[in-house]
Amino acid sequence: MKYGLPLGIIGLAYSVVLFGAQKTFGWELSYEEYHAAHLTEAINLDEDSDKNPKNLLLPFNRTRIPGSEGSRETQQFIIEHFNKTLAGQWAVETQPFKENGYYFNNLIMTLQNNATEHLVLAAHYDTKIAPTGMVGAIDSAASCAALLYTAQFLTHIASHERTLEFDKLASVPVVTGSTLGVKIVFFDGEEAIEEWGPEDSIYGARHLAAQWLADGTMTRIRMLLLMDLLGSGEEEPMVPSYYSETHQEYQLLNRIEDDLLFRRGDGSIAESQLAAQVARQRKRLDPTDYRFLGLGHSVVGDDHTPFLAAGVPVLHAIPLPFPSTWHTVEDDFRHLDATETRHWALLVCEFVVQSLRSRTE
Ligand SMILES: [Zn+2]
């Protein structure tokens, strides 16, 4: 992506949504026991973890240039995760195309295909051609792994809901009872082949947006959560709220983060098994940063722009300024922070659960 490229997105009115006082105790992370049992082995950089077939992060430790063997094997890994590990509960679509002499392929996974609207979670899986050998750990292996974990988590909930009699569920089923479905998109070709520009960047996003505009899918997209450059572990920078249209959803994500880190009223976060997985993690979201709300244009060019232009509300989870390893060979797995990657995975899982729950009937 590119910073400082005014894209002339107009019509973003400045309207900060302020939330009232929130509960400061009694908060429960949904399906916490699932995370405690599975999150660390799924997102792990420790030695030997590459031997664990449940590791979702290390398969991305390679270059993934469009059309290359690394790209094809990464696609295969992602597709098998949905088709095999997740027992075919997701509709798997691919969107192969050729542009600028390169072959690209978007991967689009859908849970609850018959839902009236969908929440879209997305990241790009391709890597930049130069510098040679860059494996794009924050750009965007970590985000892809967090999304694979989110898919696994949602599949667990859906399976659980389907195996129980409806009236035996403690509450309305979150995934199978929501009018909101989930799509997880792995974009190809986010990076420029040579130099970032409208014709040389976000190849996959432009093609998917065109398809969704043509087939009517775009009108049924409730929101796009785009993750990029996450997982560096660097103290600064934070992820600000970029768009007034989704500031409410940003505040939800921020409340979830606060609850996860600070607001376990019963103190259980300090003792739970899950705590060790996120405990040293700091705040990643900064709700006091209003720099970008109401600007009326995007300050970061990324895969969201064609969807934003089509009227889809966008929540862009990207730190600004970018982490120091961005677009250098140092953007490797030695400079990746598994704890922060798990942190984002948890935030997104809970964000989806709460979003789906708010749309149950
Ligand atoms: Zn990049």
Q: What is the pLDDT of residues 340-352, one digit of tens each?
A: 999 999 999 999 9
Tokens coding 197? 């520009």
Residue 7 has pLDDT above 60, yes or no: no
Name the range with the highest mean pLDDT among 4-18, 47-61, 98-112.
Answer: 98-112
- Answer left, alpha or beta for residue 327, where phi above 0 means left and psi between -120 and 50 means alpha: left
Q: Which of 307, 290, 308 has the alpha carbon at shortest distance from 238?
A: 290
Rounded to an integer, the average pLDDT of 170-182 is 86
* Predicted pLDDT at 36: 86
Distance 131 CA to ligand 1 centre (A): 11
Rounded to an integer, the average pLDDT of 32-42 is 90
Distance 222 CA to ligand 1 centre (A): 26
* Predicted pLDDT at 18: 29
* Predicted pLDDT at 273: 58
**Gap between the Cα atoms of 355 and 117, Å rounded:** 12
* Predicted pLDDT at 212: 98
* Predicted pLDDT at 287: 92
* Predicted pLDDT at 52: 92
Distance 191 CA to ligand 1 centre (A): 6
Tokens coding 42? 């799924």
* Predicted pLDDT at 20: 31
Comparison of pLDDT for 141 and 113, the residue scoring more:
141
User: Residue ranges of the domains in the chain?
Assistant: 2-357
> Where are the alpha helices (H) located in the chain, listed in sequence order?
32-42, 69-80, 142-163, 203-215, 247-261, 275-278, 305-309, 338-357
> Where are the alpha helices (H) located in 182-332, listed in sequence order?
203-215, 247-261, 275-278, 305-309
**Gap between the Cα atoms of 97 and 150, Å rounded:** 27
Asked whether 176 and 111 are in contact (CB, 8 A), the reply is: no
Distance 357 CA to ligand 1 centre (A): 34
Q: Could you tell me the pLDDT band of residue 148, with boundaries at 50, 70 and 90?
A: very high
Distance 196 CA to ligand 1 centre (A): 10
Question: CA of 204: how far to CAs of 147, 208, 255, 316, in Å?
Answer: 17, 6, 32, 17
Q: Could you tell me the pLDDT band of residue 180, with boundaries at 50, 70 and 90?
A: very high
Tokens coding 51? 């031997």
* Predicted pLDDT at 3: 60
pLDDT in tens, 103-125: 999 999 999 888 999 999 999 99
Q: What is the pTM of this model?
A: 0.90
Asked whether 108 and 94 are in contact (CB, 8 A), the reply is: yes
CATH code for the structural domain at 2-357: 3.40.630.10
Share of the chain above pLDDT 70, in %: 85
Please state whether the peptide bond connecting residue 131 to the residue before it is cis, i.e. omega within 30 degrees of 0. Answer: yes
The catalytic site residues sit at 190, 228
* Predicted pLDDT at 308: 97
Question: CA of 39: how far to CAs of 42, 109, 274, in Å?
Answer: 5, 21, 8
Q: Could you tell me the pLDDT band of residue 207, with boundaries at 50, 70 and 90?
A: very high
- DSSP, collapsed to helix, strand or coil, labels residue 175 as coil
Distance 1 CA to ligand 1 centre (A): 5
Distance 242 CA to ligand 1 centre (A): 19
